[in-house]
Amino acid sequence: MKWITRERPKIDRIACPWLIKKFVDPDAEFIYVPFDEVLAKAEVLNAIPFDIPNVEYTHYNEECTFDYIVKKHELKDPAILIIAKIVRGADTDQHDLAKESAGLWAISAGLSHNITNDAELLTSGMVIYDALYTWATHLYKQNHLQNSPFERLLHEVYEKFLLEKKTNQKTPSWVKDLKEIIQDQIDTQFAFDLKKISSELELNPSYLSREFSKYFEDLNFGDYVRKLRIEKAINLIQNSTYTLTEIAYMTGFSDQSHFTRIFKLHTGKNPSSYRKNSLKSKPDTKSK
């Protein structure tokens, strides 16, 4: 069967073909075309469209297309369920879902940057997911340090030191500085680099990541930034004439479908409905 999606894949549009080929349709053929051509080409080629809005095989709420395929075809392999969480975290920018998600995003983004031919990119991507499946099947619980007693001992001592270290109840000075940095980025280019920010604050990145939620509304770094982005989007929807696509871009979302999912998760409404309700609730100044 032919399967078709939008061009220049990175996460879901590489992971899904791997999953389909390995567990759903061994003879599957995958086609990448420009976004606005997917549905028309799907009809002409009798292909199944996936990972675009308003088709069956797509994102639902906070879950990505990979998740839908797992549920649709009732895949019960424990390794696939592990991979699904990693893919979801990487594809929806929720790296706190699985510690491997950030790594998958980094590798996938780099691979996409290096290989401009989508067919070749898919071939290389398949190798990555074969390796990930082997890891999830056989090595998921193996610690890299377990083969080095000396390094493992150092690791255990370090972890014990962190647990026993007394927490200063007073709000650290870096919290105010970090809030200002985040707000500056929210208002400009959204270049959130935790390592760079840690360097500016003269803090260890691991410490900053671990302590962050204590001082930022019990949210992790990614969730707090997404909350601020949605708050800025709401302000733009209510007080500007920008299109929703422009607002999605201006608030740091990779595409409008991702923006719509996150916005609805936070507000209970999609952006277009929210804008309509906002317009209705504004007083009619023309009659005055």
Predicted confidence pLDDT, tens digits, the chain (288 residues)? 999 999 999 999 999 999 999 999 999 999 999 999 999 999 999 999 999 999 999 999 889 999 999 999 999 999 999 999 999 999 999 999 999 999 999 999 999 999 999 999 999 999 999 999 999 999 887 766 555 555 556 566 656 655 555 444 577 777 776 766 665 555 444 555 667 777 777 888 778 778 888 888 888 877 888 888 888 889 989 988 888 888 887 887 767 787 888 888 889 999 998 998 888 776 654 444
Contact 65, 18 (CB under 8 A): no
In a domain, 213, yes or no: yes
Say if residue 130 is in the same domain as residue 6.
Answer: yes
Residue 221 domain-assigned (yes or no): yes
My answer on whether 200 and 248 are in the same domain is: yes
Alpha-carbon gap, residue 159 to 282, rounded angstroms: 55
165 belongs to a structural domain: no
User: Torsion angle, CA of 132/138/140/142, rounded to 10 degrees?
Assistant: -130
* 263 within a domain of the structure (yes/no): yes
Same domain? 182 vs 127: no
The Cα–Cα gap between 53 and 201 comes to 40
Same domain, 31 and 92: yes
207 and 102 housed in the same domain? no
CA distance 281 to 288: 16
For residue 218, tell me if it sits in a domain.
yes
**Among residues 139, 161, 187, which one ends one of the domains?**
139
Residue 150 included in any domain: no
Contact yes or no for 194/222 (Cβ under 8 A): no
Residue 8 shares a structural domain with residue 132: yes
Residue 38 lies in a domain: yes
Number of domains into which the chain is organized:
2
Domain that holds residue 72: 2-139
Q: Which of 82, 113, 139 is the last residue of a domain?
A: 139
Side chain identity at residue 149, one-letter code: P
Do 10 and 133 lie in one domain? The reply is yes
114, 139, 164 - which closes a domain: 139
How far is residue 52's CA from residue 119's CA, in Å, rounded to a whole number?
19
84 in any annotated domain: yes
Residues 181 and 262 in one domain: yes
